[in-house]
Amino acid sequence: MSTAELAVVYAALILQDGAVEITADKLQALVKAAGVTVEPVWFNIFAKALEGQDLKELLGGLSQPGASAAPAGGAAGAAAGGDAPAEEAKEEEAEESDDDMGFGLFD
C-alpha cells in the first residue's frame, strides 16, 4: 500500500474515531493537514466505499478469525434442520466407494 493510500486510510480511521461522517472533503482536509500529497480520486473512492459502513465493526472482525463465520454457519445448520451432517456422511461414503472399484491404477 502506498503512502498516499495509507494517509487516506488513517484519515478515515480518525474520522470514524471522532464519530464524524466520512466524506471526500473531510478526508482531503485531514490528508492535506498532514502534508501528504494524494491524487484526488482516492478521496472519492474511499468515501464511497466507506459510505454507511462502520469501520469499528469491519476491523473488529479482522482481529478474531472465524468469529463472524461461526454464527452464520450455526444459523445455516439450524435453518436446514440438521441436514448438513447427513450430506457430509453421504459424501464420505461416495469417496470410499470410489477407492474400492476392484482395480488399481496400474493393474
Q: Residue 33: which pLDDT band, with cuts at 50, 70 and 90? A: very high
Work out the average pLDDT over 27-54.
88
- Written as one string, the DSSP assignment of the chain is --HHHHHHHHHHHHHHHTT----HHHHHHHHHHHT----HHHHHHHHHHHTT--HHHHHHHHHSTTTTHHHHHHHHHHHTTSHHHHHHHHHHHHHHHHH-SS--TT-
The most confident of the ranges 37-51, 58-72, 86-100 is: 37-51
What integer pLDDT is reported at residue 104 of this predicted model? 64
Q: How many CB atoms lie within 10 A of CB 31?
A: 19
Q: What is the pTM of this model?
A: 0.53
Give me the residue label for grid cell 488513517. 10
**Measured distance CA(21)–CA(36) in Å, rounded:** 21
Work out the average pLDDT over 75-99.
54
User: Quick one: what percent of the chain has pLDDT higher than 90?
Assistant: 10
Q: Give Cβ neighbours of residue 68 (< 8 Å, ≥ 6 apart).
A: 61
Q: Give Cβ neighbours of residue 26 (< 8 Å, ≥ 6 apart).
A: 11, 15, 20
